[in-house]
Amino acid sequence: MKPKPYRANISRFLALCARNYAHIQRWLPQSRNAGQQWLWQGVFGSLSVTLLENTPYTQVVEIKRYTGGADRAVANPASVQDPLLLVRVYHDAQLAEVLTSRQICDLNPVYDYPNMHMYQRDEKYQVNAFLEDLLKIGHQANLVCQP
């Protein structure tokens, strides 16, 4: 029996992007300039947030997670790389979507499975769900460094 083809659930994906937008709004101050960087310290490590691009309706934000203390961001051993995500924030649509991650340069909406890189069929959704988990660190994080 042939398995059913995968169909992306757009409503579920957009709801996730809307939740990510709500989470990320807590991180971005009102006055924003490209190049600004913030370091947030939480129980499970630190998040470095850098505003790479700022336009009236969108922003591109780089988010890195570090383990270690607030006074120094210490990377994991070489065998385990810290997460790094580029996120586009759409203020007009109130959505935040992952553009790239450390491992994936361009996220396709759907992947054939199996594929050469062994991405899951819903890899884009899973990476955005990871962003939501990463942003939840900030619920109890403290801003420790801002230029």
- CA end-to-end distance (rounded Å), the chain: 60
Please tell me what DSSP assigns to residue 56. S
Alpha helices by DSSP H, 60-146: 123-135
Tokens for 83, please give them.
Answer: 């997460």
- The per-residue pLDDT string of the chain (147 residues; one tens digit each, 9 = 90 and over) reads 777 777 778 899 999 999 999 998 887 766 678 888 888 777 767 788 899 999 889 999 999 887 654 444 444 455 567 788 999 999 999 999 999 887 667 776 776 777 676 667 777 888 899 899 888 776 655 555 555
Q: pTM of the full predicted structure? A: 0.78
